A and B are shown apart, each in its own frame.
Chain A
Amino acid sequence: MSNSNNKNPDTRTIRVGAIARVEGEGSLHLSMRQGKVEQVRLQIYEPPRFFEALLRGRHFQEVPDITARICGICPVAYQMGSCHALEKALGAFDAVDPAIRTLRDLLYCGEWIESHVMHMFMLHLPDFLGYQSMIAMAEDHGPVVRKALRIKKAGNAIIATLGGRSVHPVGVCVGGFYCAPDPQRIAELLPEVRACLDLMSELTLFLAEQVDFPDFQRDYEFVALCPDDAYPMNLGRIKSSKGLDVDQADFAQAIEERHLEHSTALYSAIRGRGGYLVGPLARLNLNAEKLHPQAAELLREVSGTIGQSLPWRNNFLSLLARAIEVTHALATAADILEAYAPPTRSRVPITPRAGTGGHGTEAPRGICWHQYTTQEDGSIAHARIIPPTSQNQLMIEQDLYEIAQRVVDLSDEQAALQCERVIRNYDPCISCSVHFLKFTRTWQGPRTPQKAPSQ
């Protein structure tokens, strides 16, 4: 939705109502001088929700259920981040059984499947195929949408099996799960997950073949968890494509969070370097060799189809990165379901103590890092949560700076649409990080014709 104020030929303002198909509210202001972009500002105005303050004084075991409420789309990420960080604070991290860790991966598979598929096929794909909404797209691509919905449903079923329900699951606790899933239920899930794995491979190839990805190469610093032996979800050191390599606990020292006047969210940057990118593209570029074999095979096929091998530096390809990750998650989930035997215990006992622990896990949108300080009685003295969207905020602004220069000659409405597309590459979760988007563009000085965008 946009409108213009073009009374003065030298200045122009484009306003776009709160952007559709991202989560949350805010505005984008582009300031143009002499036909060039002078300033890009994401003005975040959704009020902060003060979850970190809310947690102070609460018993540690309440934290996973409270943090799950930060986001309706990625509650598992908040639960996993809080559980791991608290287990470190409480000295129980190394005592967690491998079987519990495997179930945590299964739960995370469910969230990746559900969240990624919803974003890809309902929010992001309409951009690429030229539709205004998923409803319009469904008219022409009904079978694709139906398959996607079936896969999303399987993801939710996995979450419900382990979490008790798919919306704000309640089965997770510090130390493990309140109870282990019933083998009968697990057995019922397996055939559907396998069927969805085949469907996802089909859909991924459909995307690779049918979507025309705009050329938008950027020199990002990719940051992701990098475990030695598996594609990242819950564990691993935090590394980057430009040499960052830190233990989980030291992540907060490696980055800095800045408050900028125009935003209610904090901006993250690597100390001494600047912005960085987290999320599926970063994970894939840094960990492709650890994909499940079925996902790795699909990646080879997709890379051949689009004629680009890793690293992918074009964030529009995040659509394909998500598709590969969904395939990985479905294949991993199928393996875990097939091998499932109820664990000897569903959680390890936790003894309250004073301590501090920091840990991040890979939310669908990227690293979600938590740090807690507990007191002797197990209550929370301090909490800090760094969600993925606020970490990507600087990169979003830089991408917008680039794209804004390419849309000078476009109509207000088309320019706004191009900016929205860039933002949707990030699948931003403003509910989590407190932001997003209205669009204004002001012009100062004459507009100088510039090259039209490639897409």
Chain B
Amino acid sequence: MLSSACPILIAACGNAMAGDDAFGPRVAEVLIRKRLPAVEIVNLGTKPGGLLDHLPGPQLLLVVDAAVQDDKPVGHLIELDWFAPSRPPPAHEAVLSSHGVSIADEIGLADRLGMLPRHVHLVACTIGSTHSGQPMHEAVQRQVPPAARRIAAYVGHWLEKSHKP
């Protein structure tokens, strides 16, 4: 019913009405306008627990989210493989999510149940305030177009690679 028939799933997380937490949804809006081939884009909004509704099926999952990294300034773009040993552990659920099930939990559960695509890639931006009703920090806002471009490029490379014999 909701499961994706596309090989690539882009899942954006965040509260569009809560300052810098809107990063993911804003990137998703830009990506939707790009009409990328073979891609389904879902805005999970404040309900990351909806990710599993779209799995299994896709071979590549791209997660777009807000991030907190103490040693980086607000507005720093992070891009990494979810399974890379160098990936820092997810922030405690209460820090970034008040929605019971975090995106890290969803990915962990999908992995445990064998529903996760082999390739999971995270694109995130370090953020400052997540207060309701606040606008996005300018430094975060500036990273929306570059993040969308990076994702589009990643999708292009991945499709090219996956079509090679």
Contacts and interface: CB of A to CB of B under 8 A. Distances in A.
Contacts of B44: 167
Contact of A152 (B53, B95, B99, B100): B53
Contacts, number: 98
A47 to B, nearest CB: 7
Nearest to A427: B100
A192 B95 CA distance: 37
A211 interface: no
Nearest to A438: B94
Nearest to B93: A20
A156 B98 contact: no
Contacts of B93: 18, 20
Interface stretch (A4-12, A139-147, A175-183): A139-147
A167 B1 contact: no
Contact of A72 (B46, B53, B113): B46
Interface string B10-21: 000001010000
B111 to A, nearest CB: 8
B43 interface: yes
Contact of A22 (B2, B43, B49, B100): B100
A24 B93 CA distance: 10
B45 interface: yes
B108 interface: yes
B45 A73 contact: no
A49 B101 contact: no
Contacts of B95: 18
Contacts of B133: 49-50, 54
Instruction: Give the interface SS of chain A, mostly helix, strand, loop or mixed.
Output: helix
A430 B95 CA distance: 14
Interface residues of B, number: 29
A420 to B, nearest CB: 13
Contact of B98 (A149, A157, A430): A430
Interface in A6-63: 17-25, 46-47, 49-50, 54
A120 to B, nearest CB: 12
Contact of B1 (A72, A139, A153): A153
A261 B45 CA distance: 32
A262 B95 CA distance: 21
B98 A24 contact: yes
Given A134-B109, A145-B109, A157-B1, A118 B49 contact: yes
Contacts of B1: 153-154, 157, 188-189, 192
Interface string A210-235: 00000000000000000000000000
B122 interface: no
Contact of B94 (A17, A47, A149, A168): A17
Contacts of A240: none
A415 interface: no
Interface string A131-175: 001110011001001100100111011001000001110000000
Interface string B22-63: 000000000000000000000111110110110000000000
Contacts of A145: 109, 113
Contacts of B17: 69
Given A167-B45, A167-B46, A118 B53 contact: no
Interface in A110-144: 118-119, 122-123, 133-135, 138-139, 142
Contacts of A430: 98
Contact of A135 (B53, B92, B99, B105): B105
A292 B45 CA distance: 33
A135 B110 CA distance: 9
A73 B99 contact: yes
B109 A138 contact: yes
Interface in B71-114: 92-95, 98-101, 105, 108-109, 112-113
B53 A49 contact: no
A327 interface: no
A431 interface: yes
B142 interface: no
A54 B132 CA distance: 11
B131 interface: yes
A80 to B, nearest CB: 18
Contacts of A138: 109, 112-113
A242 to B, nearest CB: 31
B50 A135 contact: no
Contacts of B49: 73, 118, 122
A430 B98 CA distance: 8
Contacts of B113: 138, 142, 145-146, 149
Contacts of B112: 135, 138-139, 142
A236 to B, nearest CB: 28
Contacts of A69: 17
A135 B111 CA distance: 9
22 contacts: A18-B93, A23-B100, A47-B132, A72-B46, A118-B49, A119-B100, A122-B105, A123-B100, A133-B105, A134-B105, A146-B113, A149-B52, A152-B53, A154-B1, A166-B2, A166-B50, A167-B45, A168-B46, A188-B1, A192-B1, A430-B98, A431-B46
Closest 5 CB pairs of A and B: A72-B46, A18-B94, A72-B47, A157-B1, A167-B45
